[in-house]
Amino acid sequence: MDNDVKLGRFISLILRHKPETIDLKLDKNGWANVNELIEKINKSGREIDFKTLERIVNENNKKRYSFNEDKTKIRAVQGHSIKVNLELKEVIPPAILYHGTAFKNLESIKKEGIKKMNR
C-alpha cells in the first residue's frame, strides 16, 4: 500500500472518528486547523507536509475531505462517528431520483423505502 493511501486512511480515522488519537481538536462543524493537523500527524511518527496533504485531498477518489477557501482548515465531508454539524443545506429532490443497490434488496426497498441503517 502506498504511503499516500496509508496517510489518507489515518487522516480519515482522525477527522471522522478519533481526533483524540493525536490530541487534535475539531470545531463543532468538524473543521481542524491544517497546520495543527500536519504538526500532530508528524509528532505521531508519520511524515506529512502541506503538499502531501493537498495531494491526498485532491486525489481521493471518494472525495472524503475538503479544505475551506483559504486552505487553513480541513474536514471530512461524510461518514463521521463523532457528532459534527456539516452545515448541509436541505434541498428538494428531483421528481426522479436514482439509487444504486443490489437486486436482492429491491422488494424490501419497495415495501419499506430506503433506510439509513448503520451508515
CATH number, domain of 64, equals 1.10.10.970
DSSP state, 49?
A: -
What are the strands of the beta sheet with 65-67, ordered from one edge? 32-33, 73-76, 65-67
Unique residue bearing C-alpha cell 485532491: 58
Residue 19: is its pLDDT beyond 80?
yes
pLDDT at 114: 86
Strand partners, 65: 76
Percent of the chain with pLDDT over 90: 70
pTM: 0.75
CA angle 91, 94, 98 (to 5 degrees): 110
Provide the β-strand partners of residue 32: 74
Please give the C-alpha separations between residue 41 and each of 31, 36, 44, 65, 92, in angstroms, as whole numbers.
Answer: 16, 8, 5, 16, 40
| pLDDT tens by residue, 79-119 | 888 888 888 889 998 999 888 889 999 899 999 988 877 65
Report the number of distinct structural domains present in the chain: 1
- DSSP, residue by residue, 43-54: HTT----HHHHH
Range of the domain at 111: 1-118
60, 84, 48: which is closest to 12 by C-alpha?
A: 60
